[in-house]
Copies of this chain bind each other. A is one copy, B any other.
């Protein structure tokens, strides 16, 4: 395998973490719009802020890994915390499909980010 094929600098664990961050970023952005449309407790400021935080730190962490940055373990550490909180809030919000799918993506992202933070 050539040294410069796309993503060749990343380990399989990092590749998976980049994908999990990307998936989590995407579903959080969709869930923000969903929660605003639902209104009520879904649209409370504290929950929306968590979703916005989660979307942004996932994007930032993915970008640090894509650049092969030496600081990726640090951004992944913060990302794991924010994702964990977001997963809890989404789970407790309601049992509708969107919130559960978002919670699941956040958990998956939190887990692989914790792994990256430990390994770095």
Contact = CB atoms under 8 A, between A and B. Distances in A.
Interface residues of A, number: 52
Given A4-B98, A5-B98, A71 B53 contact: yes
Q: Assembly of this chain: how many copies?
A: 4
A31 to B, nearest CB: 8
Interface string A35-46: 011010001110
Contacts of A75: 57, 78
B53 A43 contact: no
Contact of A49 (B5, B45, B57, B67): B67
Nearest to A44: B36
Given A18-B26, A30-B6, A43-B36, A64 B71 contact: no
B60 A64 contact: no
A29 B67 contact: yes
Given A6-B26, A59-B59, 12 more contacts: A6-B27, A7-B30, A26-B66, A29-B66, A32-B48, A32-B67, A33-B49, A49-B67, A52-B69, A53-B69, A71-B78, A74-B82
11 contacts: A5-B101, A6-B30, A6-B98, A22-B26, A30-B67, A32-B48, A32-B67, A36-B45, A49-B69, A59-B59, A74-B81
